[in-house]
């Protein structure tokens, strides 16, 4: 469907999540990581190095999960890798 408004053609498009997913990948994830880095530096400045180490391990596990979630087909490849470890 095409609508002409003041000489400009507007084309109706089906709604999708591609724009939202791209925005999240481009903006939200770096802001969350920046916030986490600032919190880690603040905790480390207090002298709680063991707390920083514990939270860093959790952060790395979370980043791996996020990377798997955002990469198309990565979940199937990870599952095949673990299945190959068991079956040989």
Interacting residues of 44 by C-beta distance below 8 A, sequence separation 6+: 52
| Token output for 23 | 């925005």
pLDDT tens column, 34-87: 888 788 778 777 787 888 888 888 878 887 887 787 788 888 888 899 899 999
What single string gives the DSSP state of each residue in the chain?
Answer: -EEEETTEEEE-----SHHHHHHIIIIIHHHHHHHHHHHHHHHHHTT-HHHHHHHHHHHHHHHHHHHHHHSTTHHHHHHHHHHHHHH-
| 17/51: higher pLDDT | 51
Question: Is residue 15's pLDDT more than 70?
Answer: no
| 83/22: higher pLDDT | 83
Q: What's the pLDDT at 51?
A: 80
Tell me the three state secondary structure of residue 9: strand
């Amino acid at each position: 469907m095409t609508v002409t408004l003041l000489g400009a053609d507007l084309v109706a498009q089906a709604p999708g999540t591609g724009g939202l997913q791209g925005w999240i990948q481009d903006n939200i994830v770096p802001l969350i990581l920046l916030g986490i880095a600032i919190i880690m530096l603040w905790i480390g400045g207090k002298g709680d190095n063991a707390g920083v180490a514990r939270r860093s391990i959790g952060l790395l596990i979370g980043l791996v999960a996020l990377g798997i979630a955002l990469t198309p087909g990565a979940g199937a490849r990870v599952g095949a890798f673990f299945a190959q470890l068991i079956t040989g």
